[in-house]
Homo-oligomer: A and B are copies of this chain.
Amino acid sequence: MLDAPNNIPDVVIKRLPIYSRALVQILATRQRTVSSNELAMATGSTAAQIRRDLSYFGGFGKQGKGYDVERLLAAIREILNLNEQWPVVLIGAGSLGQAVARYGGFAEQGFVVRRVFDHNVDRIGMRINDLVVQDVREMAELVRQEGILVAILAVPAGAAQKVADDLAKAGVKAILNYAPSTIQVPDDVRVHDIDPVAALQSLTYYLTPSEAQARGVSHRVS
């Protein structure tokens, strides 16, 4: 049993799942040790940052020998509580919600969508795999009863805050937010926003419109 290091900065915590993902792939090739350079390549990071981040764990890297893949992976999984199964509620059964409910990657990693809610009567009762969409008015009560801590929000921007308020009151502590709006939550609730449009918008900064225009592919719209 590892002593859980305290006060790991949030930015490091956000990178740990990426290291874990890469270590799983490396382990699958039966490679036993990995250098910070190799791990940097596999994660799009730098060797210096890897070493700095992993120094919070202590004792897994030996000068010139690299990290023991299996032990490092086990340590990261322990730190991130990835050896648990986490029941999840999903709110929103539109096309995104349906894709989330059908995506096998969550359950594989211990995040099992247990219930799906929507407010739309056309969707309530709809079957998605082995789940039946329930009325969002039943959400708070069921989340509380079942002690569910993790929620995925796949509702329109305008509905996100109200649903998040209800989830927080019902005891949810972690929200993956697909709604394209910022939600306010109490201090003991963590939110991770996924906004693919915002992601694309931060990428186009690096494109030169003039170049695109020269190639005839970009059209000014205002």
Q: Which residues of A approach B to under 8 Å, CB–CB? A: 8, 13-14, 16-18, 20-22, 25, 41-44, 79-88, 95-96, 98-100, 102-103, 105-106, 108-111, 146-150, 152, 157, 173-176, 180-184, 190-207, 209, 212, 215-222
Contact = CB atoms under 8 A, between A and B. Distances in A.
B212 A202 contact: no
A105 B190 CA distance: 25
5 contacts: A17-B195, A17-B197, A44-B182, A79-B205, A148-B217
A144 B102 CA distance: 34
B44 A217 contact: no
- Most chain B beta carbons < 10 A, residue from A42, A83, A205: A205
A149 B217 CA distance: 9
A183 B202 CA distance: 18
B195 A16 contact: no
Contact of A218 (B13, B84, B220): B84
Contacts of A200: 86, 88, 106, 109, 111, 150, 174, 176, 192
A85 B218 contact: yes
Nearest to A178: B196
A20 B215 CA distance: 28
B201 A20 contact: yes
Counted per complex, copies of this chain come to: 2
Given A174-B206, A205-B13, A21 B84 contact: no
A109 B183 CA distance: 21
B221 A83 contact: yes
A192 B203 contact: yes
Contacts of A206: 173-174, 190
Contact of A202 (B110, B182, B192): B192
Contacts of A195: 17-18, 21
Contact of A197 (B109, B149, B175, B182): B109
Contacts of A146: 217
Contact of A147 (B84, B149, B199, B216): B216
A81 B207 contact: yes
A191 B103 contact: no
Contacts of A183: 44
